[in-house]
Amino acid sequence: MRDISHKKRIESFQGEFVDHIAHEFRTPLTSILAYIEMLIDGEATDQESKFMFYNIVYEEAHRLAQLIDNLLNLSRLESGMATINCSPTRLKRLLETNLEVIRPQCEKNNQKLVVELDERQPTLNVDKSLFSVAVMNLLGNAAKYTPPGGTITVWTSSNEEQFQINVKDTGVGIEEQELPKIFDKFYRCDTAQDETVTDSGVGLATAQKILHAHGCDISVSSKRGEGSMFSILVPRSLINTSVGD
Cβ atoms 130, 73 nearer than 8 A: yes
* Residue 204 contacts ligand ADP per CB under 6 A: yes
Residue of 48, 66, 69 whose CA lies nearest to 58: 66
Stretch that binds ligand ADP, among 73-81, 89-97, 169-177, 235-243 (CB under 6 A): 169-177
* Residue 182 contacts ligand ADP per CB under 6 A: yes
How many C-beta atoms surround the C-beta of residue 47 within 10 A?
8
* Residue 145 contacts ligand ADP per CB under 6 A: yes
* Binding mask of the shown chain, residues 20 to 49, with x at each position contacting ligand ADP by CB under 6 A: ------------------------------
Q: Name which of 168 and 214 has its Cβ closer to ligand ADP.
A: 168
Q: Residues 67-83, buried b or exposed e (16+ Cβ, 10 A)?
A: beebbebbebbeeeebe
Cβ atoms 163, 222 nearer than 8 A: no
Stretch that binds ligand ADP, among 49-57, 85-93, 118-126, 194-202 (CB under 6 A): 194-202
Residue of 185, 189, 172 whose CA lies nearest to 228: 172
Residues 6+ apart with CB under 8 A from 59: none
* Residue 189 contacts ligand ADP per CB under 6 A: yes
Residue of 154, 159, 179 whose CA lies nearest to 99: 154
Measured from the CB of residue 100, what is the shortest distance to ligand ADP in angstroms?
A: 20
Q: Name which of 125 and 231 has its Cβ closer to ligand ADP.
A: 231
Q: Name which of 57 and 202 has its Cβ closer to ligand ADP.
A: 202
State the residues that interact with ligand ADP by CB under 6 A. 137, 141-142, 144-145, 169, 171-174, 182, 187-189, 191-192, 199-205, 228
